Amino acid sequence: MALIPPDVGIRMRMQTEANLLQPITPPRDIPSRLPELRQGQTFFAQIQEALPNNTYKALVAGQQLTLQLAAGAKSGDLLELVVVDRSGKVIIAKAAEDGKAADGKVAPYPFARFSPAARMIGQLLPAEGERAPPAQLNRSQPLLTEPPRSGAAAAQLAPALARSVAQSGLFYEAHQAQWVTGKLPLAQLLQEPQGQRSAPGAFLLAAGAGSGDGAKVGAGGTAPAGTPRDTGTASAASTTNPAAQSATLARQMPEEIRPLVQQQLETVATQRMVWQGEVWPRQTMDWEIAWEGERQATGDDEERANWRTALSLTMPRLGLVNATLQLTADGVRVTLATPSDTSAADLRGGAPQLAEALATAGVPLTGFGVERATQQEERR
């Protein structure tokens, strides 16, 4: 048995004890934020779990994040990826060998290319955080030249409001389709702002070319008014540089038409239209029409509310009145609000007359109520 010399044993014990007394370096904190992955950056990811719509839970640099991949993957795969884009907390990526061109640069992502129509819409949309300016209709004139007389108010005002919406230009493309199928006269189409700037001869030529050609010309007519008439030049420009041509078309749109087209885009996106103006001299009205879709109402009411319209006006005798109408296949529900108790009593007293008038028009009154207007409604 070998013996360790006493001095050697003492030195070994001293060194061991000294090592035990040395402070331990604390481990580095795991960063709470995800890795800063930029477009074109290459990284490694280990797939943990497959999620719907080509998304996956993955580990990247020790952190868990959500990936959206162009190609499929399975749990356990270790992939070399390149960042294509980032949407919120989701990293859009593809295989690194597919993400680089022959010269080593990042290749364009094929699914990020916009059509010429989409690029032109992008040119027309207002900047983020801004609203589309209101479109001036009816030359800022009242719908009626004088207040409607008692007993004939609906007969005078309702058609005027209907014409104001129908001829506003917000539904010009839909009306073109109706004209192509023979459901709308040409004279009515030409009364809309876009139709007033069009060439009637082109419409007549399309009408005589047969239903097939007519449909084609009608679809072509959906381009905003004021775009170049030289289709050969436009075609050549779109072939060489679609982005430049889209920007040119947007710039060439007449300034008086641009707000209207922007309002069309906003109406399509929100399914909501707002009308503000004078219904007769010195009588202004705010009017909103919105599509709510088929939704199940809350509570015991099983009625489906499809269309909702609300209007606000201040009348000489009744004062401020806010009206909300919910229109369904079964009829209409009317809710009125006013800050005046006297006006509320008058409105309740007119409920039977309202129900009778609606029944005569073929729209049963399915509900009626009068509420006190809130402070917010009073400030409108």
pLDDT tier for residue 235 given thresholds of 50, 70 and 90:
very low
The predicted-structure confidence for 85-102, as pLDDT tens digits, reads as follows 877 678 888 887 754 544
Query: What is the phi/psi pair of residue 207, to 5°?
Result: -65, -35
Spell 339-350 as b/e; 16+ CB within 10 A means b. Answer: beeebbeebeee
The predicted-structure confidence for 170-220, as pLDDT tens digits, reads as follows 999 999 999 999 999 999 999 898 888 877 665 565 555 544 433 333 333
pLDDT tier for residue 254 given thresholds of 50, 70 and 90:
confident
Highest mean pLDDT pick, 26-35, 279-288, 300-309, 340-349: 340-349
Query: What does pLDDT average to over the chain?
Result: 74
pLDDT of residue 359: 93
State yes or no: pLDDT of 261 exceeds 80: yes
pLDDT of residue 1: 41
Residue with the bigger pLDDT between 199 and 28: it is: 199
First and final C-alpha spacing in the chain: 103
pLDDT tier for residue 367 given thresholds of 50, 70 and 90:
very high
Stretch 33-43: mean pLDDT: 73
Stretch 29-56: mean pLDDT: 75
Does pTM surpass 0.75?
Answer: no
For 37, the token pair is 């992955």
State yes or no: pLDDT of 286 exceeds 90: yes
Q: Which domains does the chain have, with CATH numbers?
A: 42-112 (2.40.50.140), 170-266 (no CATH), 271-378 (3.30.750)
User: Which of 220, 247, 219, 245 lies closest to 234, judged by CA?
Assistant: 245
pLDDT of residue 207: 57
Q: How far apart are CA 230 and CA 232, in angstroms?
A: 5
What's the burial of 266, exposed, middle or buried (CB within 10 Å: 0-12/13-18/19+)? middle
pLDDT of residue 132: 78
Stretch 278-295: mean pLDDT: 85
pLDDT tier for residue 368 given thresholds of 50, 70 and 90:
very high
Say how far residue 41 (Cα) sits from the centre of its chain. 32
pLDDT of residue 334: 96
pLDDT of residue 51: 86
The predicted-structure confidence for 106-144, as pLDDT tens digits, reads as follows 555 555 566 777 778 877 877 777 777 787 777 678 888
State yes or no: pLDDT of 239 exceeds 50: no
- For 119: left if phi > 0, alpha if psi spans -120 to 50, otherwise beta; the answer is alpha
pLDDT of residue 91: 87
pLDDT of residue 11: 52
